[in-house]
Amino acid sequence: MADRFIEVSLARRGVQCTARLLADRAPVTCAVVWEALPLVSDVYHAKYARNEIYALFPAFADREPPLENPTVTPIPGDLCYFSFSGTELGTRAYGYAPEAGVQANPTVVDLALFYERNNLLLNGDVGWVPGIVWGQVVEGLDEMAEACNDLWRAGAQGETLGFRRA
Q: 117: phi > 0 → left, psi -120 to 50 → alpha, else beta; which?
A: beta
Tens digits of per-residue pLDDT, 55-87? 999 999 999 999 999 999 999 999 999 998 866
Q: Looking at residues 108-127, what average pLDDT do you find?
A: 92
pLDDT top residue among 89 and 119: 119
Q: Is the peptide bond before 58 cis (omega within 30 degrees of 0)?
A: no
What pLDDT band is residue 94 in, cutting at 50, 70 and 90?
low
Residue 47 confidence (pLDDT): 83
What pLDDT band is residue 126 in, cutting at 50, 70 and 90?
confident
H/E element, 10: strand 5-10
Whether the pLDDT of residue 138 is over 80: the answer is yes
Tens digits of per-residue pLDDT, 2-30? 899 999 999 999 999 999 999 999 999 99
Q: Is 44 exposed, middle or buried (0-12, 13-18, 19+ CB in 10 A)?
A: buried
Which pTM value belongs to this model?
Answer: 0.91
* Mean pLDDT for the chain overall: 91
Q: Looking at residues 42-60, what average pLDDT do you find?
A: 93
List of domains in the chain = 5-165 (2.40.100.20)
Whether the pLDDT of residue 93 is over 80: the answer is no
Beta bridge partners of 107: 85
Q: Looking at residues 119-137, what average pLDDT do you find?
A: 92
Tens digits of per-residue pLDDT, 96-114? 555 544 455 578 899 999 9
Residue 102 confidence (pLDDT): 45
Rounded Cα–Cα distance for residues 15 and 127 (Å): 33
108: number of Cβ within 10 Å: 23
